[in-house]
Amino acid sequence: MVALILGVLPNLPGFLAAAGFSGPASPMFGAIYTYAWFVGLAVAGVVYWAWMSVMKGARRKS
């Protein structure tokens, strides 16, 4: 769930601006929203990989 939430968060400001729910987003968030699928997948993948690496190391020490 954490990886999913962190994968969606960078895309949220751009989405809200594109849907008209907020004022114009900064150009950075507009660019991120343009590539939302790739950004979300990359962020979620890195978070998941890092978390599983930490958990794997914790299991070895137990």
pTM for this prediction:
0.80
Give the Cα separation of 55 and 19 in Å (integer).
38
- Give pLDDT tens digits for 12-50: 999 999 999 988 888 999 899 999 999 999 999 999 999
> What's the half-sphere exposure (Cβ side, CA atoms, 13 Å) at 1?
0
Higher pLDDT, 57 or 45: 45
Angle between helices 12-19 and 27-34 (to 10 degrees): 90
Q: What is the pLDDT of residue 46?
A: 97
Handedness of CA 13, 42, 46, 5 (dihedral sign): positive
